[in-house]
């Protein structure tokens, strides 16, 4: 029994050595797979007589696994050979040559599946949007796409569209622009703002809105409005659109009179100024001859005709609204204030004097009125002028027309120039002290301002023995 086991072990060792050597020969010299299977089958036939059933089954399983490994290696070499032949253009190249060796670091499959090419053609991987140099083209819209819009296809042009303003929106938009213009007086800014709006067929209403707002404002606002209409003509509004605006205002005069009783005369001045500035055509007035039924419109047109028929109407119409407060010459303002005070001394109407002072629109120059009033009191005779001026200054102080700063500045100017005034009015010191005391009693000036009033010291002569010298 021991002899049989030794012979069996020796035989198995020979078989296993034979198998190992044969496998190496196959790997080294590339023996055909079919010939190898036939040789192994012959060796198996020789040894079958001495193997037990378990050993024989184990040996067959080993042979099948080895055959599968050889089949995988063969398919992998075939795929590598095909890829190399495609790349080099040589179908008969040897895969075992140095040129046919496969790089072990490439990204080709080792499982024998596919052609061994890189995954996704080299365009795969994390954070990759495609192969290098790939250009994505615009996808054509698909008819089956649920978001497909047949009318939206074709050449699309994107542009900023400003909606047209209706009459109500136009009024809400233009009124703040005009009111702001009354503060800064820059017509170019108004033109820029209007060009950004889509005024549409209601463009002519810009001028009518500006005139309506100025009728409720000051004379300086009306002057600014006339300048605005002159600058808008030909740039933003045409002559026909300007004429259409004044036509509408003539029709709306019955409503404008409710808020502004002088609207017909003012509108006539606007028409005359617009014709003189070439904002309206010269034949505008001739269109209405014998065709006007409204009395208010007839009064406005008559006012315009009278102004245009005056001599040198172009020069005179430049000041049809007067010169704005801040633009008036100082000499002109001083003259106006002197006339105002003289008329007040004659009529005694405080309300009329207040109205005239406000029309000058120079609140920063009201100290000149205080100065002129005090000087007029010093140059007057009697106590009537003193009482009337105190009454006037008190009314201006209570209504806030003249501020504390302007009141103090006017009196201080008189205090400084009193030595020069005394040359013409010897009793100026006495009159000024009386006037200042009355103003303080009526709460027109403060106690500090009253105490600052200069007083002329009494000059006392000594005895004749001193030579008639004045003793300080």
Q: Computed over its alpha carbons, how large is the radius of gyration of the chain?
A: 57
Say what the pLDDT of residue 277 is.
Answer: 87
Query: Does 432 score more than 80 pLDDT?
Result: yes
Report d(CA 341, CA 376) in Å as an integer: 9
**3-state class (DSSP) for residue 272:** helix
**Residue range 358-383, pLDDT digits in tens:** 888 788 889 999 999 999 999 988 78
Asked whether this chain's domains 167-317 and 326-460 adopt the same fold, the reply is yes
pLDDT band at 156 (very low <50, low <70, confident <90, very high): low
Dist. CA 462–CA 472, nearest whole Å: 10
Structure tokens at 395: 């009314």
Domain 326-460 CATH assignment equals 1.25.40.180: yes
Q: How distant is the alpha carbon of residue 188 from its chain centre?
A: 17
> Residue 114 — very low, low, confident or very high, per pLDDT cuts 50/70/90?
low
Residues 62 and 18 sit within 8 Å (Cβ to Cβ): no
| Residue 237, φ and ψ in degrees, nearest 5 | -120, 140
Degrees, nearest 5: CA angle 324-326-331: 95
Contact 123, 131 (CB under 8 A): yes
Domains in the chain: boundaries: 11-81, 167-317, 326-460
- Tally Cβ neighbours within 10 Å of residue 70: 17
- If you average pLDDT over residues 215-235, what whole number do you get? 88
The answer to whether 364 and 410 have CB atoms below 8 angstroms apart is no
Residue 233 and residue 239 in contact, taking contact as beta carbons nearer than 8 Å: yes
At 261-318, the pLDDT tens digits run: 889 999 999 999 898 888 888 888 888 877 888 888 889 998 888 888 874 444 456 6
The mean pLDDT value for 373-398 works out to 90
Q: Which two tokens stand for residue 66?
A: 């080895």
Give the Cα separation of 194 and 173 in Å (integer). 10
Query: In the CATH hierarchy, which fold is given to the domain comprising 167-317?
Result: 1.25.40
- Determine the straight-line distance between the first and last CA of the chain, rounded to whole angstroms: 168
In tens, the pLDDT along 158-193 reads: 677 778 888 888 889 999 999 999 888 889 999 999
């Amino acid at each position: 029994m021991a002899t049989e086991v030794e012979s069996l072990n020796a035989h198995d060792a020979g078989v296993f050595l034979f198998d190992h050597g044969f496998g190496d020969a196959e790997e080294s010299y590339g023996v055909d797979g079919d010939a190898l299977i036939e040789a192994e089958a012959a060796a198996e036939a020789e040894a079958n007589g001495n193997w037990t059933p378990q050993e024989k089954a184990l040996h067959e399983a080993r042979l099948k696994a080895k055959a599968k490994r050889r089949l995988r290696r063969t398919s992998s070499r075939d795929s590598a050979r095909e890829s190399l032949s495609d790349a080099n253009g040589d179908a008969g190249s040897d895969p075992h040559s140095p040129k046919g060796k496969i790089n072990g670091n490439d990204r080709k499959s080792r499982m024998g599946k596919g052609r061994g090419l890189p995954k996704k053609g080299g365009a795969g991987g994390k954070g990759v949007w495609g192969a290098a140099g790939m250009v994505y083209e615009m996808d054509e819209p698909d008819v089956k796409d649920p978001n497909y819009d047949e009318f939206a296809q074709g050449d699309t042009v994107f542009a900023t569209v400003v909606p047209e303003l209706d009459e109500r929106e136009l009024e809400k938009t233009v009124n703040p622009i005009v009111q702001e213009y009354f503060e800064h007086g820059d017509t170019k800014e108004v033109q820029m703002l209007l060009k950004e709006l889509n005024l549409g067929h209601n463009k002519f209403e810009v001028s009518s809105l500006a005139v309506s707002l100025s009728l409720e404002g000051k004379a300086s606002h009306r002057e600014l409005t006339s300048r605005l209409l002159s600058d808008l003509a030909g740039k933003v509004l045409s002559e026909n659109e300007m004429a259409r605006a004044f036509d509408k205002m003539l029709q709306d005069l019955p409503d404008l009179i409710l808020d502004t009783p002088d609207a017909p005369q003012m509108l006539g001045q606007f028409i005359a100024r617009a014709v003189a500035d070439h904002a309206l055509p010269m034949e505008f007035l001739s269109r209405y001859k014998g065709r006007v039924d409204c009395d208010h419109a007839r009064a406005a047109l008559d006012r315009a005709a009278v102004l245009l028929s005056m001599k040198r109407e172009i020069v005179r119409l430049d000041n049809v609204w007067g010169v704005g407060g801040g633009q008036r010459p100082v000499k002109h303002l001083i003259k106006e204030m002197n006339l105002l005070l003289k008329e007040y001394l004659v009529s005694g109407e405080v309300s009329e004097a207040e109205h005239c002072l406000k029309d000058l629109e120079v609140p920063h120059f009201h100290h000149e009125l205080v100065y002129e009033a005090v000087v007029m009191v010093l140059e007057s005779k009697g106590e009537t002028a003193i009482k009337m001026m105190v009454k006037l200054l008190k009314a201006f102080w209570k209504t806030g027309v003249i501020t504390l700063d302007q009141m103090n500045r006017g009196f201080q100017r008189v205090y400084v120039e009193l030595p020069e005034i005394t040359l013409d009015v010897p009793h100026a010191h006495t009159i000024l002290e009386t006037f200042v005391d009355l103003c303080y009693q009526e709460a027109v000036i403060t106690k500090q301002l009253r105490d600052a009033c200069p007083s002329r010291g009494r000059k006392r002569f000594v005895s004749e023995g001193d030579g008639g010298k004045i003793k300080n």
